[in-house]
């Protein structure tokens, strides 16, 4: 398999894209720059949830009862209790064959291989940076919420908490698919097609109370024709523009932004000899200059 690069942009309106447990679950922020942050772990969780709903077998997943399953239990489920105590190389082939998320994201398996070492590690071919907002993001004034259920038996009052949300955040992720690591996890073309599908569908389909208000806006996967060529972070060639002279704090929806992709299309067209195909999807609600169809060997993805 050859290398690929991913640019994924989605927005969040009146919700909490990724709560920070160290900050009372406030949206993750770099406050000096007013940049909203979203971890790669949050994005991968959306993808795993989507694959799980499609009954695709995963390494990181919950039991049908909803309980969290340990890594050792998960391997025992796949191989059997006795086999899981000491793996042979052929057992690794079975694990890679059955567990899609290891082929995608890699894993550390806490069992010995033929009695040697403490664990077996696979480096995932699919990796993402942390996502960040292209606009300066402002939080809503803090709201106190209450629950009708008490935290302790016998108490009459319900519990109280804070509800932190962003006004509007246009979030961009950059990712890579390493052809070198894909060989080691046996990543398949069908797995990559599933990844494309999940990137477009997972976020809106797995909304919770704090996550309602998020929508994919742009997805690009640039597939190269070798495993020894890759560009820098694609986000550096994306420029956000705000029509009408509005200030950042006056941006409330996708209607208030415009993306200039001219530099990105020029960069990719300038490296067309290295590109096998560009798979793309663009939401009609997002205004852009430099449409993805102008990219080399562009192929629109269905929703």
Instruction: For residue range 243-301, list pLDDT tens digits in order.
Output: 887 888 889 999 999 999 999 999 999 999 999 999 999 999 999 999 999 999 999 99
Q: Are residues 281 and 147 in the same domain?
A: yes
pLDDT for 172-182, tens place per residue?
A: 999 999 999 99
Contacts of 90 (CB under 8 A, 6+ apart): none
9: nearest Cα among 238, 222, 191: 238
pLDDT for 116-173, tens place per residue?
A: 667 889 999 999 999 999 999 999 976 665 555 555 555 555 565 688 999 999 999 9
Query: Domain limits at 83?
Result: 71-123
In a 3-state reduction of DSSP, which class is residue 246?
coil
C-alpha angle 211/213/215, rounded to 5°?
Answer: 105
What is the rounded average pLDDT for all residues in the chain? 90
Q: Are residues 154 and 213 in the same domain?
A: yes
Residue 161 lies in a domain: yes
3: nearest Cα among 195, 226, 174: 226
Q: Are residues 129 and 112 in the same domain?
A: no
Q: Are residues 173 and 254 in the same domain?
A: yes
Q: Are residues 230 and 254 in the same domain?
A: yes
CA distance 153 to 134: 46
Q: Are residues 138 and 219 in the same domain?
A: yes
pTM: 0.91
pLDDT at 150: 54
* Beta-strand relationship, 239-241 and 258-260: antiparallel
**Cβ 61 vs Cβ 52: under 8 Å:** yes
Strand ranges (E), the chain? 4-15, 19-20, 26-27, 29-30, 35-38, 86-87, 106-109, 112-113, 120-123, 126-128, 131-133, 143-146, 160-163, 166-177, 214-224, 239-241, 258-260, 275-282, 287-289, 298-300
Contacts of 299 (CB under 8 A, 6+ apart): 277, 278, 279, 280
Q: Are residues 194 and 113 in the same domain?
A: no
C-alpha dihedral sign at 42, 44, 45, 46: positive
Confidence of residue 52 (pLDDT cuts 50, 70, 90): very high
Residue 64 lies in a domain: no
Give the mean model confidence (pLDDT) for residues 46-62: 93
Residue 66 lies in a domain: no
Strand ranges (E), 106-191? 106-109, 112-113, 120-123, 126-128, 131-133, 143-146, 160-163, 166-177
**Cβ 261 vs Cβ 9: under 8 Å:** no
Give the count of domains, the chain.
Answer: 2
């Amino acid at each position: 398999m050859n290398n690929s690069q991913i640019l994924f942009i989605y927005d969040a309106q009146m919700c909490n894209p990724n709560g920070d447990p160290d900050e009372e679950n406030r949206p993750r922020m770099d406050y000096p720059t007013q940049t909203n942050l979203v971890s790669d772990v949050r994005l991968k969780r959306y993808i795993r949830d989507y694959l799980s709903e499609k009954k695709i077998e995963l390494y990181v997943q919950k039991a049908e009862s909803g309980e969290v399953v340990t890594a050792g239990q998960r391997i025992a489920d796949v191989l059997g209790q006795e086999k899981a105590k000491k793996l042979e190389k052929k057992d690794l082939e079975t694990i890679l064959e059955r567990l899609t998320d290891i082929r995608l994201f890699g894993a550390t398996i806490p069992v010995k291989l033929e009695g040697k070492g403490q664990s077996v590690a696979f480096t995932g071919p699919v990796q993402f940076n942390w996502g960040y907002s292209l606009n300066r993001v402002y939080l809503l004034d803090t709201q106190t919420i209450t629950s009708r259920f008490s935290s302790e038996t016998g108490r009459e009052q319900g519990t109280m908490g804070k509800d932190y949300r962003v006004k509007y955040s246009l979030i961009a992720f950059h990712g890579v698919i390493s052809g070198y690591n894909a060989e080691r996890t046996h990543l398949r073309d069908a797995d990559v097609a599933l990844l494309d599908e999940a990137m477009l569908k997972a976020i809106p389909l797995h909304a919770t109370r704090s996550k309602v208000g998020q929508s994919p806006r742009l997805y690009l996967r640039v597939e190269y024709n070798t495993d020894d060529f890759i560009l820098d972070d694609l986000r550096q060639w994306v420029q956000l523009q705000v029509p009408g002279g509005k200030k950042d704090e006056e941006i409330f929806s996708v209607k208030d932004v415009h993306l200039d992709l001219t530099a990105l299309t020029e960069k990719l067209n300038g490296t067309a000899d290295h590109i096998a195909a560009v798979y793309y999807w663009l939401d009609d609600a997002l205004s852009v200059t430099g449409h993805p169809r102008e990219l080399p060997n562009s192929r629109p993805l269905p929703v």
